Structure 1
Amino acid sequence: MKKMIVLLFAVLHLNAEEIYATFDVKAEKSASLAFSSSGIVGEMKVDIGSVVKKDELLAELLNDDIEAMVEVSKVALKYAQSDYERQKKVQQHINVSLFESYAYKYDNAKVQLKYQDALLEKTYLRAPFDGIITAKHIEVGDVVSGQMITEVYDIQSLKARKLILKFDQKYHKKVKVGDSFKYKVDGDDTLYTGTIYKIYPTIDSRSRKMLAEVKAERFPVGLFGDGYITVK
């Protein structure tokens, strides 16, 4: 039995092939953040290097006018609701069209408040995921436009990384999802091991290379290295 296992291992080893690949380290998630509304920047709450949580407030525009409109809409809704509920109690004694006019005013007040809340929310810039701020492009007092996108911050995932592998196109039929990748990062003699979880469906027309991805952690974004993909 032991000899059979050794023989099987030897056969598998002989059938395995190693394919050379280079890679660059990228953040698993990254984004350039911008306001979807126009206005003047009133507050910048984080800076380069800040670690943030998903939905954390990062910056906001001056929005006193919109906050006032939200309060006006709340008051309008309060009185529209009161009128509607009062008329509903005597609905059977009043004209149908008159009752419907109160119902319309009530529904319209709810929509107006929702609309003003949406406008207010657009003056806040929040983190789309847990991460770290890597760049800040504007300062308090700058004017931004929702039509001409003005980048505010760059954010990337804090620890999660991906290796973007490049290997010769002639191996496009051999490399598969699940293949092992052993590699070293430039300036580090440690041998790391990962697994290919994504293969790009197209070939780069200029370099004639195929691309694949391997998950990693903690490497600084921008590093590079090389290694070997083990295929059967």
Structure 2
Amino acid sequence: MKKAFITLLMLISMLNAAQIYATFVVKPIQDANLAFISSGIVDKINVTVGSEVKKGEVLAQLENSDIKAMLEVAKTSYKYAKKDYERQLKIKSLIDEAKFDTVANKYEASKNQLAYQQALYNKTFLRAPFDGVIYAKEIEIGDAVSGMMLKTAFRIQSKTQRKLLLSFDQKNRNIVKIGDIFKYKIDGDGNGYSGKIFKIYPRANLDNRKIKAEVLTKNFIPGLFGDGYIISQIKK
């Protein structure tokens, strides 16, 4: 009896609420174009379209034997510069200050050079910026890439997290609020769904006089579209 009463109250509330028509497109929560920011030849590709990847996973790498060799040289120089610095530090009060400064400068320079070579080496690896799925692959082994002219290597999107990008008439800008329920259907899908608006864009589109809003959802394929009604508690 109590449940039926609550349901009745909800129905009355919905009847009194304004219903604003909106269309939408399904978008991934995270979506990125990935490119090498270093120049070189693609040496390895570890993923393809449809691959599920973890944040930080290596997707592809450039031929980097020369940079790796320079990194090893920098590591060796740093190793011995550090040893020399630590020896001189123990007897700092007994040696000429200028001599100690020379040793300290060499040590700092070798440390900076190592960091620089490590950064160059790291740039030869293209890593996933977040957990997701590769949905486009636009490089092959042997391709030349340039850090000066970025070329998309992969496109990645979040695995299951999606959002609906809504469009509704600007005349309803003062009616629609964050937290309003959006009841909708995907085109070609007979099921009904609902979600809450969590973002409203602060400007209208000049071409079609529409305002955009976003609703969180999951699992739908990006690119699907549909329509529905925003249930607002503010009457028109």
TM-score, structure 1 normalization: 0.95
CA contact (8 A) 2:71 2:118 kept: yes
Aligned equivalents of 1:198 and 1:85: distance in 2? 57
What CA distance in whole angstroms lies between the structure 2 residues aligned with 1:144 and 1:9? Answer: 59
Residues 10, 77 of structure 1: alpha-carbon distance in 2 compared, 3 angstrom cutoff: closer
Which residue matches 1:113?
Answer: 114
Indicate the residue corresponding to 2:218 in structure 1.
217
Can you give the 5+ residue segments of structure 2 that lack an aligned partner in the other structure? none
> 1:9 & 1:25 partners in 2: Cα distance?
28
Q: How far has the Cα of 1:8 moved from its partner?
A: 6.5
AA partner of residue 79 (structure 2):
K
Please list, as runs of the form range in 1=range in 2, the aligned pairs for 1:1-232 lying within 5 A after superposition: 12-232=13-233
How far apart in 2 are the matches of 1:126 and 1:187? 37
Higher mean C-alpha displacement, 10-19 vs 213-222: 10-19
Q: Distance in 2 between matches of 1:131 and 1:13?
A: 38
Q: 1:128 to 1:20 in 2, by over 3 A?
A: same
Whether contact under 8 Å (2:137, 2:155) holds in the other structure is yes
Deviation at 1:113, TM superposition (A): 0.5
Distance in 1 between residues matched to 2:46 and 2:154, nearest whole Å? 11
SS in 1 for 2:75: helix
Query: How many correspondences in the alignment?
Result: 231
Judged with a 3 Å threshold, the aligned counterparts in structure 2 of structure 1 residues 10 and 79 are, in CA distance, closer, same or farther, namely closer
Q: What is the alpha-carbon distance in structure 2 between the residues aligned to residue 44 and residue 127 of structure 1?
A: 13
CA displacement 1:15-74 (0-9 Å, x = unmatched): 301111111011110000001111111111100110000000000011001100111011
Cα distance in 1 for partners of 2:45, 2:20 equals: 48
CA contact (8 A) 2:61 2:126 kept: yes
Counterparts in 2 of 1:130 and 1:9: CA distance versus 1, 3 Å? closer
Deviation for aligned residue 1:83: 1.3
Q: Describe the SS at the equivalent of 1:151.
A: coil
Are the aligned partners of 2:14 and 2:231 in contact in 1 as well (CA < 8 Å)?
Answer: no
Runs of 4+ in 1 over 2 A off after TM superposition: 4-15
Whole-angstrom CA distance in 2 between matches of 1:75 and 1:172: 64
